[in-house]
Amino acid sequence: MLPIIDIRVQALKERIRKIKKIVVVCSSKGGVGKSTAAYILSCILSKSKKIALCDFDFTGPSLHLLLDTNKTFTEENGIKLPEVSQNLFFLSIVFFTHDKPLALRGNNISNIILELFTIADFENIEILIIDTPPTTSDLILDILKYLENADFWVVSSNSLLSYHSVNNFVEVISQRTRNLELLILNKIFPDDPESFKIFEKLKSKFRRIISLPYINNIHGYYGKIKEVRSLDFIEQIEKDIVDFM
Amino acid sequence: MHEFALAKALKQTITSKYNDHSKFIVYIGQIQNIELEVFKAALSEEVHDLNISLIFQEVPAKIRCNICGYEFLYNSLGLSDDQQEDIHFLPEAIYVYVKCPKCKSNDFEVVEGRGIFIAPYN
Ligand SMILES: Nc1ncnc2c1ncn2[C@@H]1O[C@H](COP(=O)(O)OP(=O)(O)O)[C@@H](O)[C@H]1O
Ligand SMILES: [Mg+2]
Ligand SMILES: [Zn+2]
């Protein structure tokens, strides 16, 4: 008997071949600001590039809240992503679950990844930014398997506990990828630099380290792409990451 | 139509994996809720230049509860059109709408009838 082949595997390969850059925003820790960082960096990058911001936290999606949008896909040669702001496109499982809760096992997660890449139209998208749930579980392993050339942006808060966890996380994924591009230290206070030092050791594993300050009244920036772009630290971030794009 | 994306995926699989075959069976999982006529129309557009023949086989969706082991069929669930539409696009949306009819658990597995697969035959 000749093998039976899942048609989605090839579809995924061909989809990602056309995308210039795929960024995975990840961390072993929850609550460090992966989704927030993915949102802020998408606001910055969509100034000049076509971005697809994808929520791969399938059981705890939050980007629709950060983008403050209930826009959904349209059907056209597969599913066409909504443009939530100029050049910023969006993909989330909430299009299909309407934000109702669900529990998934690892093989469901693989199926969702394959399915989304088969049906989603990423035509003309230049950068895919993928937000992920915490931990080094099935999802990250699948990403390492299917999205071989992805660049990893690892998020940590500025604390010993986060450092410890992220340090181990980085050690595990660095055995599988050389694309540790950015270490993002999030929720930094102006009088913080002391504990900052523990990250010196991690720094050498990444091409760059950036820090995002603690933002007061962060909820006021949800769905406000222009306001995010005019925050005072944005210009520095833009300079820091421009050569990756 | 989302059937067009699936038709394209099928063509990509044939041209990259099976360019020395010309007859194929396409297995269509019931849970995909594919409109077969639309899918065939999309396919004939995609593959007409390949000179191949396709046979279609729908695979009934069988579900097994991971907690109590009960097996049940997708078409026995009485899902609404809207629910089936969500599952059509993303089969895992089934975990939002379905529970084991016996023990009400939401931990179950679609053992057959998910996805689209292709195999050559002689
Ligand atoms: N730079 C920041 N300034 C202020 N609050 C932040 C910042 N980054 C994240 N937060 C807050 O921290 C919490 C967790 O952020 P979130 O992005 O959901 O983390 P994760 O996706 O890693 O779980 C949220 O309440 C968010 O508003
Ligand atoms: Mg998150
Ligand atoms: Zn049961």
Q: In terms of Cα–Cα distance, which of B103, B78, B99 is closest to A101?
A: B99
| pLDDT at residue A236, as a whole number | 96
Ligand 2 centroid from CA A6, angstroms? 30
Written in H, E and C, the secondary structure of A208-227 is EEEEEECCCCHHHHCCCHHH
Q: In terms of Cα–Cα distance, which of A203, A163, A144 is closest to A28?
A: A163
Cβ count near A141 (within 10 Å)? 16
Residues of A in contact with B9 (CB under 8 A): 7-8, 10-11, 118
| pLDDT at residue A159, as a whole number | 87
Copy the structure tokens of residue A42. Answer: 């998408």
Q: Where are the domains of chain A?
A: 7-244
B103 and A CB contact within 8 Å: no
pLDDT digits (tens, 9 = 90+) for A190-217: 877 666 777 888 989 999 999 999 999 9
With an 8 Å Cβ cutoff, are A118 and B9 in contact? yes
Contact present, A45 and A166 (Cβ < 8 Å): no
Question: What domains can be seen in chain B, in order of their start residue?
Answer: 2-120 (3.30.2320.50)
Q: Among A27, A35, A36, A64, name the best residue to mutate to test ligand 1's pocket (greatest count of ligand atoms within 8 A of Cβ).
A: A36
| pLDDT at residue A193, as a whole number | 64
Ligand 2 centroid from CA A60, angstroms? 7
Nearest to A7 among B92, B107, B116 (CB): B116
**What does pLDDT average to over chain B?**
93
| pLDDT at residue A123, as a whole number | 93
Report percent pLDDT > 90 for chain A: 86
Architecture of domain A7-244: 3-Layer(aba) Sandwich (3.40)
For residue B101, name the pLDDT band (cuts at 50, 70, 90): very high
Model confidence at A165: pLDDT above 70: yes
Q: What is the ipTM of this complex?
A: 0.94
Q: From atom 17 of ligand 1, which residue's Cα is the shortest distance away?
A: A33
